[in-house]
Amino acid sequence: MIRLTKVKALWIYETMVRIRRFEERSIELFQAGELPGFLHAYIGEEAVAAGVCAHLTPKDQITSTHRGHGHMIAKGLQYEGMFAELYARATGYCKGKGGSMHIADQDLGALGANGIVGGGIPIAAGAALGLRFKGEKHVAVSFFGDGASNEGAFHEGINIAATWKLPAVFVCENNGFAESTPRATHQAVQDIADRAKAYGMPGIVVDGMDPQAVYEVAGEAIARARKGRGPTLIEAKTMRFLGHYVGDPGTAYGHDKEVGKWLKRDPIITFAEVLVKKKWLNKSNIDAIHANVNNEMEEAIEFARKSPEPELGDAMTDIYASV
């Protein structure tokens, strides 16, 4: 059993706050017309990214989704480069060429958010294979949603990972809706984790609103992968608190009715209560964490605003390493 230490618990709490505040401010900036494109907010699902990434080092790799800000922050990407990317600035993680759905940093083992549902799953399998080739005990973790579990890429990537016993962990964030389609109308299984059996690998359901539970389950799976015993499929039951994208009220498909009971389980509130009860946090610590995150964030936003846009010539670079 992987025990949650005080150090890790505080890291998870702060990471969840960092994700939440990033998303809240991004939404404000987007609605103020400062950010181009569109956003998919991770609000509500923070316990999954934080609980899993608490086990990872920069050498471990992740693939992510269109709703990827949370995974990137949990993997160690910094506010400055992330906000600059959302502002489409040359100082962004992708020099303003990727945007919200493609934030990545290979140096931190973040192989990208991904605009294609399920697209990162075989890539994570490949990263796991590459890590094993190099003889390193690192792992690759793929985050994806319930919708992605119906893609062929899910089947192909997970089957390869299981067959080759790759050091990979597949984390399905089941938030109950594939964009606007409720779970029951896009798959017959109640638990996506059940599908693991079909690939010859363990499948575990975990409460995705409980960071400690996620941490423990992910810890077992990641340790198993590091030991060379193969991949695990983790299904984290969770809920995005907002619509599919910023601007989607969620009213057309029943999300607004469903979300109420999940709001009561907001992991940032409930986990703070747990930590206060353990005396690992008190009100003034919590306020300090929020204040620090907010200060750092406002500085990062200012950095992004003041950063230069890409030059027109930059449109034609980074297509090839060399031609």
Partner 1 sequence: MREILYREAIIEALDEEMARDGSVFLLGEDIAEFGGSYKTTVGLLEKYGAERVRNTPISEQGIIGTALGSALVGMRPVAELMYIDFSAVAMDQIVNQVAKVRYMFGGKANTSLVIRTQGGAGRSSAAQHAQSLEAWFVHVPGLKVVMPSSARDAKGLLKAAIRDDDPVFFIEHKLLYLERGAVPEEEEVIPIGVAEVKREGSDLTIVATSSMVGKSLAAAKELENEGVSCEVIDPRTLFPLDTETILASVRKTGRLLITHEAVQRCGWGAEIAAMAAKDAFDYLDAPIERVCAKETPVPFSPKLESYVIPDKDDVIAGVRGMLETV
Residue 172 tokens read as 């399905």
- Residues 18, 21, 66, 240: which is the catalytic one? 240
- Residues 155, 253, 265, 290: which is the catalytic one? 253
Residues that bind partner 1 (CB under 8 A): 61, 63, 92-98, 102, 104-107, 111-112, 114-116, 119, 121-131, 133-134, 140, 152-153, 155-157, 159-160, 163-164, 317-323
Residue (1 or 321) nearer to partner 1, CB: 321
Gap between the Cα atoms of 64 and 260, Å rounded: 27
* Element spanning 94, H or E: none
Residue (108 or 218) nearer to partner 1, CB: 108
Gap between the Cα atoms of 74 and 82, Å rounded: 12
Closest contact distance (angstroms) between CB of 308 and partner 1 is 14
Closest contact distance (angstroms) between CB of 124 and partner 1 is 6
Residue (34 or 156) nearer to partner 1, CB: 156
- Residues 69, 71, 138, 244: which is the catalytic one? 244
Phi-psi region of 184 (alpha: psi -120 to 50; beta: other; left: phi over 0): alpha
Q: Is 253 a catalytic residue?
A: yes
Compute how many other C-beta atoms are within 10 angstroms of the C-beta atom of residue 261: 9
Residue (115 or 182) nearer to partner 1, CB: 115
Q: Is 244 a catalytic residue?
A: yes
Closest contact distance (angstroms) between CB of 284 and partner 1 is 40
Gap between the Cα atoms of 17 and 293, Å rounded: 8
Three-state secondary-structure class, residue 144: strand
CA proximity to 74, closest of 110, 101, 27:
110
Cite the active site residues.
240, 244, 253
